[in-house]
Every structure is written in structure tokens, then in C-alpha cells.
């Protein structure tokens, strides 16, 4: 029988909270890409499938990192709020941008909260989310992972419903 580990405290607790927030964004991205992929065809659908697989893998890695720290990883919600109707390929592309922006925001917070070597890994994940955002958006943003001034509404990957 294993001895339960104490809950993280201090700096470790801040890191675990940031990991949990990033995990929630990854759960939302997995959910959202399921919706977006249903409205896409051809190369865009293939791109959505690849992004979905990347988010699933990152979700699983973050879950493991949380449990390795002696904390409980929150499960995915049964559903997440989609910020607008997704009826066309253009809507699906817009949703993918929204998801990647939300993931980048949470990963940026993780980079800020994490110690080495997690900080380097989280920075790599942030870079990946920024690249996905560029692919979907067709243009780059100056500081991916930082909230926009004035709160544009694209700062979260969707809330639990």
C-alpha cells in the first residue's frame, strides 16, 4: 500500500493550478476540434485531425504531470461552451483560432508559473499553439499567450457548461 503524498503547497501549488488551467484548455480544445472537424473538408479537415491529436497528446501529458505532483487532474466536462454557432467551414476555422488562442493564453500562464524544466516544455507547447493559431488565422499575432488589451473575448478556450 502506498502512502498518500501531501497536497502541493507554495510554489508547487501555483504550478499545479497553472497545469490544471492548461489541462482545462486542452480538454476544451479536444471538444472544440471535434465540432470544428465536422464542418471541414479536405486539407482543412486533415489539419484539424492533426491538431486534435496534438491536443489529446498534450492533455495526456499534462494529466500525468499533475498526478506526478501528487494532485488530482480534473476530468473533462461533459460539454464546453462554444462561443458562436459553427455551421460553415469559415465558422469552424474561426473556432479553431479561438481554441488555439485560449490554449496559448493558458500555456503562457503556465510558462510564467513553472519552474525548470517544466517551463521549457511549456514554452515549447506555447510555440506549438502559436503555430497552430497562425495556420488557422493565416497571420501571426505579436504575443501569443498574452491576453489582448480590452478583453476581446478570445482569451479562453471555452468554459464548462
pLDDT tens, position by position, 51-109:
999 999 999 999 999 999 999 999 999 999 999 999 999 999 999 999 999 999 999 99
**Distance from C-alpha of 79 to C-alpha of 27, rounded to nearest angstrom:** 10
Pick from 74, 91, 82, 85: nearest CA to 29: 82
* Contact criterion met (CB below 8 Å) for 153 and 25: no
Q: Is residue 28 part of a domain?
A: yes
- Residue 31's domain comprises 18-76+86-137
* pLDDT at residue 91, rounded to an integer: 98
CATH number at residue 22: 1.20.1260.10
Q: Is residue 99 part of a domain?
A: yes
**Distance from C-alpha of 39 to C-alpha of 18, rounded to nearest angstrom:** 32
Q: Is residue 25 part of a domain?
A: yes
pLDDT tens, position by position, 10-55:
678 999 999 999 999 999 999 999 999 999 999 999 999 999 999 9
Q: Is residue 144 part of a domain?
A: no
How many domains would you assign to the chain?
A: 1
Q: Is residue 98 part of a domain?
A: yes
Q: Is residue 64 part of a domain?
A: yes
pLDDT tens, position by position, 140-160:
878 776 776 544 333 344 455
* pLDDT at residue 143, rounded to an integer: 79
Q: Is residue 150 part of a domain?
A: no
Name which residue leads in pLDDT, 140 or 7. Answer: 140
Q: Is residue 71 part of a domain?
A: yes
Amino acid at each position: 500500500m502506498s502512502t498518500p503524498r501531501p497536497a502541493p503547497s507554495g510554489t508547487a501549488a501555483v504550478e499545479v493550478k497553472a497545469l490544471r488551467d492548461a489541462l482545462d484548455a486542452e480538454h476544451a480544445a479536444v471538444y472544440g476540434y471535434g465540432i470544428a472537424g465536422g464542418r471541414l473538408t479536405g486539407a482543412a479537415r486533415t489539419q484539424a485531425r492533426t491538431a486534435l491529436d496534438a491536443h489529446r497528446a498534450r492533455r495526456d501529458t499534462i494529466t500525468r504531470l499533475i498526478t506526478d505532483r501528487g494532485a488530482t487532474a480534473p476530468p473533462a466536462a461533459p460539454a464546453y461552451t462554444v462561443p458562436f454557432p459553427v455551421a460553415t467551414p469559415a465558422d469552424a476555422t474561426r473556432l479553431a483560432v479561438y481554441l488555439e488562442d485560449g490554449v496559448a493564453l493558458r500555456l503562457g500562464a503556465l510558462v510564467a508559473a513553472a519552474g525548470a524544466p517544466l517551463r521549457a516544455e511549456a514554452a515549447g507547447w506555447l510555440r506549438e499553439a502559436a503555430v497552430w493559431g497562425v495556420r488557422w488565422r493565416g497571420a501571426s499575432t505579436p504575443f501569443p499567450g498574452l491576453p489582448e488589451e480590452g478583453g476581446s473575448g478570445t482569451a479562453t478556450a471555452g468554459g464548462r457548461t
